[in-house]
Structure 1
Amino acid sequence: MILVGLTGSIGMGKSTTAKMFAAAGCAVYDADASVHALYRAEAVPLIEEAFPGTTAEGAVDRKKLGAAVLGDGEAMKRLEAIVHPLVRAREQAFIGRARDSGARIAVLDIPLLFETGAQGRVDACVVVTASSRVQRERVLARPGMDEATFEKIRDRQMADEEKRRLAHFLIDTGHGLEHARRSVASILRALAGRA
C-alpha cells in the first residue's frame, strides 16, 4: 500500500482535494476530523487539566482554547504534546484498517505534515497550493475569521514556498475544481506506476 501525505496551508483547498482523492477510490484519513472527534472524547479531560476553563459539557470549547493558545508558542507546544500522540494513534488505526481492506493507496490529510515531521512516515507528499491572494480571499470569507486570526494561523505554518519545495507533487487549486481533479488523476496514475 502506498501512503500519501496531503498537506497545504490554510485556505489552499486541501479539504476539497482530499474529497477528490476519496472520490477516486483512495482511503483518506482526515487529521482535522480526528482532532474534532478527540475534542469530544479522550482529549477533553487532558486539555481541561492543562488549560482550565477551555471545556464545557464534555467537549473542548474551540474558541476558548484558541484564545488560550494562539500566539503563545509555549501554550501551543503543551497543546500539541497532548493532541499529537492521540491523533497519531488514530492515524495508525486507520492505516491498519486501510491495509486490511486491500487499499492500494491511502492518503493522510495532515495540515501540519512538514511542521510535525510526518513526511518521514509517507511514500509521497502532495502539496495543495494557490496564490496568496486566493488564499487570503478564501480564509477571510470564512465565518468568524478576521485578519489577525488568519495571520496568527499562517505564522504557525511553514511558508507555502517551502512546502512546495518539499513536495513530490503539487496541486494548484487556484485554477478551479476541474483542474484540481485532473491533477489528482495524474498523481494517482504516477503512483500506480510505483505500486
Structure 2
Amino acid sequence: MSVYGLTGGIGAGKSTVANMFQESGIPVVLADDVGREVASKGSDGLAEIVRSFGPDVLDSNGELDRRKLGTLIFNDPDRRRELEGILHPRVRDRSRELFSQLEHAGNQIVVYESALLYETQRHTEMRGVILVTASEEQRIARVRSRDGSEEEAVRQRIKAQMDEEEKRGLADYIIENNGDLQALKREVDSLIEQLLGR
C-alpha cells in the first residue's frame, strides 16, 4: 500500500482536495482528527498535557479546551515545542496504526492530510507528497469568507507558516487551486488516475 501526504497552507484548499479523494473511494487520514483523538478525554495524551500545562486547559467536562491551550502557546515557542513533543509522537504512532488497518482492509492507496507534514518530518515516510497551492490573494479571500478573519490576521498566519516556495521544492505533485471547483476536480481526478497507474 502507498501512503501519500497531502498538505498546503491555510486557505489553499487541502480539505476540499481531501474530500475529493474520499469521494473517489480513497481513504484519507486527517492529522487533525488523529490529534484530537490522542488528546481526548481519558487519554494518556491529555493526562500529559494537563501535567505540563495545568488543569486550566480543561473545560467543565474535563475535555481539552483548545482555545485556552492555544492562548498559552501562541507567543511562546518553548511551550509550543513542549506541546508538540507530547502530541506529535502520539499522532505519528496512531496514524501508523490506522495505515496498517487500511492496508489490511485491502486499500491500494491512502492519503494522509496534514498542514504540518513538512514541519513534523512526516513527509519522509510518504510514497509522495501532494501540495495544494493557491495565490496568496486567493488564500486570504477564502479564509476571510470561511471564518470572517481580518485580512492582516490571515497574512500573519500565512507568514507564520513554512514558505510556499520551499514546500513547492519538496512536493512530488502540485495541485494549483486558483480556479473553480470543477477545475480543481479535474486536476484531482487526473492525479488519482496517475497515482493508481491507470
Would you say 1:54 and 2:57 are equivalent positions? yes
What is the CA-CA distance between 1:44 and the residue it aligns to?
A: 2.0
What is the CA-CA distance between 1:102 and the residue it aligns to?
A: 0.7
Instruction: Say whether the 8 Å CA contact 2:31–2:113 is kept in structure 1.
Output: yes
Cα 1:152–1:98 shift into 2, 3 Å: same
Would you say 1:81 and 2:88 are equivalent positions? no
1:17 match: 17
- Greater shift, 176-185 or 11-20, is seen at 176-185
1:112 alignment partner, SS class: coil
- Greater shift, 96-105 or 55-64, is seen at 55-64
Instruction: Say whether the 8 Å CA contact 1:13–1:129 is kept in structure 2.
Output: yes
1:132 pairs, out of 133, 136, 154, with: 136
Instruction: Say whether the 8 Å CA contact 2:58–2:65 is kept in structure 1.
Output: yes
- Give the Cα–Cα distance (whole angstroms) in 2 for the partners of residues 85 and 152 of structure 1: 28
Cα 1:149–1:94 shift into 2, 3 Å: farther
- Give the Cα–Cα distance (whole angstroms) in 2 for the partners of residues 149 and 64 of structure 1: 19
What is the CA-CA distance between 1:146 and the residue it aligns to?
A: 4.4
1:44 match: 46
- Give the Cα–Cα distance (whole angstroms) in 2 for the partners of residues 79 and 150 of structure 1: 23
Cα 1:85–1:111 shift into 2, 3 Å: same
2:118 match: 114
- Give the Cα–Cα distance (whole angstroms) in 1 for the partners of residues 63 and 157 of structure 2: 22
1:29 match: 29
After superposition, the C-alpha distances for 1:144-178 in whole angstroms (9 at most, x for unaligned) are 74456545543442111211121111112221211
**TM-score w.r.t. structure 1 length?**
0.91
Q: Where does structure 1 lack aligned partners over 5 or more consecutive residues?
A: none
RMSD value, Cα: 1.9
2:109 pairs, out of 95, 105, 111, with: 105
What is the CA-CA distance between 1:192 and the residue it aligns to?
A: 1.9
2:6 alignment partner, SS class: strand
Which AA in structure 2 matches 1:45? A
Identity of aligned pairs, percent?
Answer: 35
Instruction: Say whether the 8 Å CA contact 1:29–1:107 is kept in structure 2.
Output: yes
Q: Which runs of at least 4 in structure 1 moved beyond 6 Å after TM superposition?
A: none
Would you say 1:7 and 2:10 are equivalent positions? no
Which AA in structure 2 matches 1:50? S
Which AA in structure 1 matches 2:118? F
